[in-house]
Structure 1
Amino acid sequence: MTTAGGFHGAGVVLPLSGDEPPVTIERVPAREAAERELSRPMYHENDPSLLQRALDRFWEWVGDLFDAAAGATPGGAVGVVVLVLVVLLLLGALWWRLGTPHRAPSSSAPVFDDRPRSAAEHRAAAEAHAADQQWSQALQERMRAVVRSLEERALLDPRPGRTADEAASEAARSLPSHEAGLHTAARDFDDVTYGGRSADERAYRRIADLDRDIERTQPVLAPSPGAAE
């Protein structure tokens, strides 16, 4: 049976005006023709953009996740909010306790990276930086003053390329009472110079005090090879 605008067998019947017989279009070609018609830009001018569709999918996923968490958490949505607040408070406490994370020193590099200067010149440069509250530069120059002073006193052999940690280890042999201070100063120097940290006044004063104490300390000289005999 054929009705106007209805189906006729496996095709689509299109009524025509007048006495012309209806035209029957097979189902598949009819669907393809409809798809071609609907794909025309005029039908999609108000469609959401790709970004908007992606954002809609994301918020749908967040909503589903929140609903799932609310269903599994005692107290429902209120419980989820309380849990999130507790996590944020814990993260804030850790941040306050540990401070801003800093990059660890990637490698050790030589203490001196420019023309040779005396210990007095390094100290003067350090004090000039400290007067301007440039604590990182002041700490670096004061560490260089410590190492240069040890070289001038023949407690360290002058050697290009020596790192701060190497200088601290070698100097501690003749200045054992300052071993801890020397290693702390070397670590502060590496953190500031190669680790991206910023020094403060306290760190600078600590290494300046170490410099003055080392100047007043008599070294422990290693016994000569024939001393035991």
Structure 2
Amino acid sequence: MSPTGGVLTAVPTALLSLTGSGDQPPVTIPRDPAREAARRELSKRMYHENDPGLFQRALNAVLDWVDRLLSAAASATPGGALGLVVVVLAVVAVLGALWWRLGTPRRQPVSAATLFDDHLRSAAEHRAAAEAHAAQGHWNQALQERVRAVVRALEERALLDVRPGRTADEAAAEAGRVLPAHTDRLRAAALEFDDVTYGGRRATQASYDRIADLDRDLGRAKPILAASAHSTAHNTRQGAAE
């Protein structure tokens, strides 16, 4: 017996005791007792076995609210529902174009962390680690290790003092003073290290190759030491005076 059929047929049955049998004349029943008898009958569990559960009722309420919201938006949009669809597609297209044009939002580093951890490794060890990461396509780690190799190699050549707390930006600025021909590339390498390490950017093979080329070029570069730079400046001033 369906819930609907049960309600329609069960109430008269429940009230037979008050109204009499079908062969007897109808009995006039006051409104309040009749309503109370119907309420007691309909409150029985058998009539509510197929009622939706709490989750289903909540889901139905949400769906009804979304339907009313979309209907209101469609009625307020020129062209009705079709116009609303066109507007939504246009917004999605604009957002997609901005994402494609600007890329993933870049997060600024929250702090200037250091290049090296407490474990001291040589430039050769950093290069080996970088090449191992590159062979597996782990470009973020490969780039980080290659930048560390660049800085450690300059420290091993005594072009930079050994300072564990140095950041990539500090290393690039200090190295640029003794290797001025590579200042821009050193700064670019430090920026890429910060972007990958703290800015949420992803390195590529091309960015790693740029750092590897810089590492090789610095190994062949002749530094301009402070004494040499002072002598060159002195000779230049002396020649100008003559």
Q: Which residue of 1 aligns with 2:52?
A: 48
Between 64-73 and 119-128, report the one with greater CA deviation: 119-128
Cα deviations across residues 76-127 of structure 1 (Å, max 9, x unaligned)?
2111111111112122222322334566544332212253222233223323
The SS at the match of 2:49 is: coil
Distance 1:53 1:183, change over 3 A: farther
TM-score (norm 1): 0.73
Q: Which residue of 1 aligns with 2:129?
A: 125
Map 1:164-175 to 2 at 5 A.
164-175=168-179
Q: Which is richer in helix?
A: 2
Map 1:1-40 to 2 at 5 A.
27=32, 38-40=42-44
Q: Which residue of 2 aligns with 1:84?
A: 88
The SS at the match of 1:117 is: coil
Q: Could you tell me whether the CA contact under 8 Å between 1:155 and 1:174 is conserved in 2?
A: yes
CA distance in structure 1 between the aligned counterparts of 2:183 and 2:35, rounded to whole angstroms: 87
% identical aligned pairs = 66
Aligned length: 211
TM-score (norm 2): 0.70
Distance 1:40 1:113, change over 3 A: farther
Q: Which residue of 1 aligns with 2:65?
A: 61
CA distance in structure 1 between the aligned counterparts of 2:29 and 2:143, rounded to whole angstroms: 94
* Corresponding position: 1:147 with 2:130: no
1:183 is displaced (CA, Å) by 2.5
Q: Which is richer in strand?
A: 1
CA distance in structure 1 between the aligned counterparts of 2:175 and 2:40, rounded to whole angstroms: 85
CA distance in structure 2 between the aligned counterparts of 1:67 and 1:219, rounded to whole angstroms: 73
Q: Could you tell me whether the CA contact under 8 Å between 2:118 and 2:164 is conserved in 1?
A: no
Task: Pick from 163, 186, 190 the counterpart of residue 186 of structure 1.
Answer: 190
CA distance in structure 1 between the aligned counterparts of 2:112 and 2:206, rounded to whole angstroms: 23
Give ranges in structure 1 of 5+ residues lacking alignment: 1-13
1:160 is displaced (CA, Å) by 1.6
Q: Which residue of 1 aligns with 2:77?
A: 73
1:22 is displaced (CA, Å) by 8.4
Pairwise CA RMSD: 3.4
1:208 is displaced (CA, Å) by 1.1
Letter paired with 2:221: T
Between 187-196 and 35-44, report the one with greater CA deviation: 35-44
